[in-house]
Amino acid sequence: MKKINWELWKRALFDLFFPGDCPICERAAYLDDVSYACLSCLDSIAWIKHSRCKLCGVGMDGLDYAGLICKNCREHSPVFSSGRTMFHLNPAGRSLIHQLKYHGDKRILQDVPLFLERAPDFLEFITGAVLIPVPLHKKKLHKRSFNQSVWIAEAFAREAGVSTVSYDCMTRIRNTPSQTKLDLNQRRKNVKNAFALKEGTCLDGFDRVVLVDDVYTTGATLDACASVLLGSGVSRVEVATLGHG
C-alpha cells in the first residue's frame, strides 16, 4: 500500500485556510493576480543573465564571451557538454527550492513562464531536447511521494512546446547517503555507479538529451547520470537546473 505523505496533506490543509500565500515571503496572497510567488519576490531572485559558465551555467559577472568555463568545471571537467541554470541560490531562490523539494509545493512551477522571462535563453536551450529528470532512489521516492526533478522536467516540456518531451527513464540503483555534508570528491565517490536506465528504455534517435535537476551543487550527480547516457549511445548530453549553489 502506498504510504501517506503527511507533509503533503498538512500543506494541502494549510492551503485550504490560507490560500495562495507567496512561497517566498509567505505573505501577499496573489496580490498581483498573475503569479503564485509575488512578483517582487520573483524579482528578488538572483536570475542568471548572459555571462555564465558554458558547462554548468553559473553566472560569471564582469565577463562576457561565449565559451567561459568556471573554476569548478575547469578543475573537474564534467562529461556533459553544456548547461544552463536559472538562478543563484540567494535566500529567495533557496526558499523557492525548499518549498518545492521539501514541502511538495508544485504550484511553484505555475510560475515557470515568469522564470523563463527572467532567465534569458533558457527556453531556447531546452527547446527540442529530450528532458530526463535526475532520479530518486525508490526508497526516497516512497518516503517523499514525488520527485521534484520529474515535476520540473514536465513543467519545462510544457512551456517549450511539442518538440520537447520529458522522459523519466533513469533509476537510482544505489540508495546513496545525503550529499549535503560531502565535498566534491566524496560526492563523486558517493554517486559512482548509482544510476542506470530503467528497463525498457529506448534512447534510439535521441540526439540531444538535457538532464534536469532542481539544483546544481557540485555537478557530481548530473555528471554520473550523464556518463550513463553517454555510455548508452546518446551523442550529446547537457544539463539544466532551476538553481545553482
- Which span sits near Zn ion by CB under 5 A: 72-80, 100-108, 133-141, 147-155? 72-80
- Binding of Zn ion at residue 56 (CB under 5 A)? yes
- Binding of Zn ion at residue 242 (CB under 5 A)? no
201 burial level (CB within 10 Å; 0-12, 13-18, 19+): middle
CB-wise, 25 or 46, nearer to Zn ion? 25
Largest CA distance in the chain: 54
Separation of first and last alpha carbons in the chain: 37
Are 226 and 210 in contact, with CB atoms under 8 Å apart?
Answer: no
- Binding of Zn ion at residue 73 (CB under 5 A)? yes
CB-wise, 38 or 160, nearer to Zn ion? 38
- Binding of Zn ion at residue 38 (CB under 5 A)? yes
Count, residues in the chain: 245
Query: Least CB distance from residue 210 to Zn ion, whole Å?
Result: 16
Query: Least CB distance from residue 197 to Zn ion, whole Å?
Result: 26
Distance between CA 45 and CA 64 in Å, rounded?
Answer: 21
Are 127 and 240 in contact, with CB atoms under 8 Å apart?
Answer: no
Query: Least CB distance from residue 80 to Zn ion, whole Å?
Result: 11
- Binding of Zn ion at residue 165 (CB under 5 A)? no
Q: Which residue has the cell 514541502?
A: 103
The whole-angstrom distance between residue 80's C-alpha and the CA centroid of its chain comes to: 15
In a 13 Å sphere around the CA of 60, the CA atoms on its Cβ side amount to 20
Query: Least CB distance from residue 92 to Zn ion, whole Å?
Result: 8
- Which span sits near Zn ion by CB under 5 A: 33-41, 97-105, 136-144, 170-178? 33-41
- Binding of Zn ion at residue 24 (CB under 5 A)? yes
CB-wise, 73 or 109, nearer to Zn ion? 73
Distance between CA 164 and CA 157 in Å, rounded?
Answer: 5
CB-wise, 70 or 203, nearer to Zn ion? 70
- Binding of Zn ion at residue 96 (CB under 5 A)? no
Distance between CA 39 and CA 51 in Å, rounded?
Answer: 24
Query: Least CB distance from residue 175 to Zn ion, whole Å?
Result: 28
Residue 178 is classified by DSSP as P
Cell readout for 58 is 553559473
CB-wise, 21 or 168, nearer to Zn ion? 21
CB-wise, 41 or 237, nearer to Zn ion? 41
- Binding of Zn ion at residue 60 (CB under 5 A)? no
Q: Which of 8, 70, 184, 196 binds Zn ion (CB under 5 A)?
A: 70
Distance between CA 36 and CA 28 in Å, rounded?
Answer: 10
What are the residues binding Zn ion (CB under 5 A)? 22, 24-25, 28, 38, 41, 53, 55-56, 70, 73
